[in-house]
Amino acid sequence: MNDVLVLVGHGSSDGENEKVIQRHAARIRQLGTFNQVCACFLYGVPGIKETLQNIRCDRVFIIPMFIAHGRHTKEDIPKALGVTENDTINDKEIIYCEPIGYNDKITDIILEQVAEKKD
């Protein structure tokens, strides 16, 4: 199956949010797990809608790069995508995943960052 991963960030006026999310996309791309890995932004370039329109695939996994659900993950991103939670658009199966903060591995990352500062 032709799978694509889309990381959706908020975007920022100074570009830092975009840099971080693009870095994650590049690292995932190197793993070769997906046919394509894209980063797009609610308030930034590239935007969400145009990113989705330019993807040719069977399935799209969308990961909101947010710590928790809120208005952006529940309303703004799905509206920009033109989808409900799991939907089909132009013969693409859309799989809208949980924000990254819901993963317990985030706890490990928090502790690693504190440990780095303790050294």
Q: Is the pTM of this model over 0.75?
A: yes
Q: State how many domains the chain has.
A: 1
At residue 98, the 3 state secondary structure works out as coil
What is the chain's pLDDT, residue by residue, as a tens digit (119 residues)? 799 999 999 998 888 999 999 999 999 999 999 999 999 999 888 998 889 888 888 899 999 999 999 999 999 998 888 776 666 766 788 899 999 998 999 999 999 999 999 97
The domain of 31 spans 3-118
CATH of the domain at 11: 3.40.50.1400
User: CA nearest 60: which of 90, 18, 23, 22?
Assistant: 90
